[in-house]
Amino acid sequence: MEQSASPGQPSAITSLTTRMAARDEEAFREFHSLYFSRLLRYHIIIARGDEHAAHEALQETLLRVVRHARRFDDEEVFWCWLTVLARSSASDAGRKRNRYWQLLAGYARSLLHRNEIFPPAETDRELREMLDQSITELDTETRALVEGKYLRRATVRELAAETGLTEKAVESKLLRARRELRENVLTKLRHENT
């Protein structure tokens, strides 16, 4: 972005960020055009190549830019601010994913105890891999509901609004998904122990 400005004229970054702080929609479109690809590449680096995680964190970064937009007079300082938002968004997204996996791992451990399967060499990492694989085996709609409920922490009401299903239908699908995950994990554990 060109930084030079005529005497008495604000720089391009000053103009852009001032308009963003004033909630100018056109300024946000311009920002998106100028910075989206650069921020995505930055997020892919932070996520070590995991494009799904990068896109997830990028969405949160863009929301934070909108919420906290303010004037900057220097493009380098503005970029540093964007990278701070990007890193904190990536960190928050990582914590959400970890809570999701911890919840599922705890659920799987409770299933193991209930079914009296205690694989001595089973580690949390291996269990997490089994859960991850089992989740990817769910159909697309069910996987979206499970991820919405346990990763994004969406309520049943929010999931119903997003999908057009009734709350009862969402609850029913989540119940079936938990049963299917339980059976898949137990099958994998039994297979590993034979």
Does residue 105 lie within any of the structural domains?
no
Q: What's the domain range around 81?
A: 12-93
Position 2 scores a pLDDT of 44
Q: Return the number of other C-beta atoms located less than 10 Å from residue 72's C-beta.
A: 21
In a domain, 110, yes or no: no
Residue 51 CA to residue 68 CA, distance in Å, equals 25
Residues 87 and 31 in one domain: yes
Closest CA to 193 of 140, 98, 120: 120
Determine, yes or no, domain membership for 101: no
Give tens-digit pLDDT for 115-168.
554 444 445 667 777 777 888 888 888 888 888 887 777 888 889 998 899 989
Q: Which of 59, 93, 127 is a domain's end point?
A: 93
What CA–CA distances, in Å, run from 34 to 4, 89, 153, 190? 17, 20, 32, 53
Examine the fold and report which residue of 93, 126, 158 is the final residue of a domain before the chain moves on: 93
SS3 content of the chain, % helix, strand, coil (to 5): 75, 0, 25
What is the number of structural domains in the chain?
2
Check residues 20 and 90 and name the one with the higher pLDDT. 20
The answer to whether residue 76 sits within a structural domain is: yes
25 and 86, same structural domain?
Answer: yes
Residue 157 lies in a domain: yes
- 7 vs 47, which has greater pLDDT? 47
Look at residue 48 and tell me if it is in a domain.
Answer: yes
- Is the model's pTM score more than 0.75? no
**Same domain, yes or no, for 25 and 84?**
yes
- Look up the CATH number of the domain holding residue 142: 1.10.10.10
Helix axes 51-68, 25-46, angle to 10 degrees: 140
